[in-house]
Structure 1
Amino acid sequence: METTLLIVVAAAMLTAIMTGVGALPFLFVKKLGNRTMGWSNAAAGGLMLAASHSLIAEGATLDITLTLVGVLVGLGAIVLADRLLSGAGEVDVADLHGANATKALLILGIMTAHSFAEGVGVGVSFAGSEGLGAFITTAIAFHNVPEGLAIALVLVPRGSPVWKAGLWAIFTSLPQPIMAAPSYLFVETFRPFLPVGLGLAAGAMIWMVFAELFPEATEKVDTGSAATAVTLAFSVMMAFQMLVLAH
């Protein structure tokens, strides 16, 4: 089938919608205790670490120097954003208030930045060899499900409704269809920026795991238990990604 701009945008929109699927398990979980909240934070951290690993690995295959530059820029950006939000007073996000809303806003911002890079990846792939676009779209779509779960693990235990967490998860992936179209049309212009974007999102996510999610997890459960949850979530995410890539 001949690739058209409409097909590229539709494929990228599908990857965005799949992010919302990650919130669905919370439809069956009515109430979360302190220990579950601690494990949720740790699991979200493990999922984000695995996503960061994949982003850096993918960027390094394109240009390792630009990927490293992206990681450092992402680190600087998230530290600056954290300081600005800390001094901005009360914020409200997804029915959350105060410190919970600040953490949610940081994570939503990181995931949204991440999606810009993925959108470029979809567009560039459709401009490549035949079948590559469909493969990359499928991989990103399935990859987005646990990312949506990571977002829900942060939002729902703090009081956000499941439906709203799902919509916020989809919102963070909307840059994918937005960026897929121009990157498909102007592939040679966008291709050099892809490793920078991948590294940027990875650097911000790694900071978020160790500055916010893991410390908060250890407030609810012991360090060993939190570390186990991080490692298990990381392993499940990597196994899931390998399964997708193998097919």
Structure 2
Amino acid sequence: MVDINAWTVVLAAGITAVATGLGALPFLFVRDFSGWWLGVFNAAAGGLMLAASHSLVAEGTALGAGRTLGGILTGLVLILVANTLISREEDHDVAELAGADARKALLILGVMTAHSFAEGVGVGVSFGGSDELGVFITAAITIHNIPEGLAISLVLVPRGTPVWKAAGWSIFTSLPQPLMALPAFLFVLVFEPVLPVGLGLAAGAMIWMVFAELIPDALEEISGATAGAAVTLAFAALFAFQHFGLHM
């Protein structure tokens, strides 16, 4: 018989997924983008993803450094394979984008969706430990997901995707969270050992995405100094958001 707390876990993970869509809200107020701003947005998205990767690696290391390292290397291999397969297909149409923009959209949506599997397992495993820990982890991931939705929107909206669709795609990438939270809660002993692998896998793929796609695109529009400042400020903002947001 399923414990009633199982449905609480699904609801909690669903809230974390919906929160990702909030990252698109700033674009309701800013709609016209010059090339300079597009470069800054790419760099900022890279900084947000680097900060998220740092958080994932730190969490994974606390659970198992070796498994986290294995996950990072696996994530690198998988994203390289995905990029090769996507590049072979010339016709892409994603989020009202086409060509190279659609390829980037596919990659970032794929990376962020893979990342959400690990977060969903994290929610379920934490509730398997205690209700208090589960609530804390859920709140932390909810706060963490808003900038992730912003990172996705920073790539999609300036290239022509409507704000509401960017919000929808952001939520879509987080749907694995409620899907994975319930089985992880019900079978903690099975899922807990693979959690650091999943965290490392997502981090490895995100780090590649930053340096192979987002930063080179940013440097086509802005100087290295400006890109570095945008990356650092975005990293610092997400770091502060994650570590101080729960205490405000």
Kept in 1, the 8 Å contact 2:17–2:178? The answer is yes
- 1: distance between equivalents of 2:61 and 2:245? 20
Residue type of the partner of 1:139?
A
CA offsets per residue over residues 160-183 of structure 1, 9 Å max, x none?
A: 000000000000000000000000
5+ long unaligned stretches in structure 2 = none
Secondary structure of the 1:127 match is helix
Residue 69 (structure 2) aligns with: 68
Residue 23 (structure 1) aligns with: 24
Deviation at 1:28, TM superposition (A): 0.3
Kept in 2, the 8 Å contact 1:47–1:237? The answer is yes
5+ long unaligned stretches in structure 1 = none
- 1: distance between equivalents of 2:62 and 2:17? 25
Residue 83 (structure 2) aligns with: 82
CA offsets per residue over residues 67-97 of structure 1, 9 Å max, x none?
A: 0000000000001111111111211110000
Kept in 2, the 8 Å contact 1:123–1:180? The answer is yes
Deviation at 1:129, TM superposition (A): 2.3
Residue type of the partner of 1:29?
V
Residue 95 (structure 1) aligns with: 96
- 2: distance between equivalents of 1:23 and 1:129? 33
| Superposed structure 1 runs of 4+ greater than 6 Å apart | none
- 2: distance between equivalents of 1:129 and 1:24? 33
Residue 235 (structure 2) aligns with: 234
Distance 1:198 1:5, change over 3 A: same
Q: How does 1:137-176 map to 2 (within 5 A)?
A: 137-176=138-177
Normalized against structure 2, the TM-score is what? 0.97
Q: How does 1:85-234 map to 2 (within 5 A)?
A: 85-234=86-235
Kept in 2, the 8 Å contact 1:90–1:97? The answer is yes
- 1: distance between equivalents of 2:49 and 2:149? 11
CA offsets per residue over residues 19-38 of structure 1, 9 Å max, x none?
A: 00000000001211100000
> Percentage identity across aligned positions?
63
Deviation at 1:4, TM superposition (A): 1.3
Residue type of the partner of 1:45?
G
Deviation at 1:244, TM superposition (A): 3.2
Residue type of the partner of 2:168?
L
Normalized against structure 1, the TM-score is what? 0.98
CA offsets per residue over residues 182-238 of structure 1, 9 Å max, x none?
A: 000011000011000000000000000000000000001111111110011001111
Kept in 2, the 8 Å contact 1:3–1:126? The answer is no
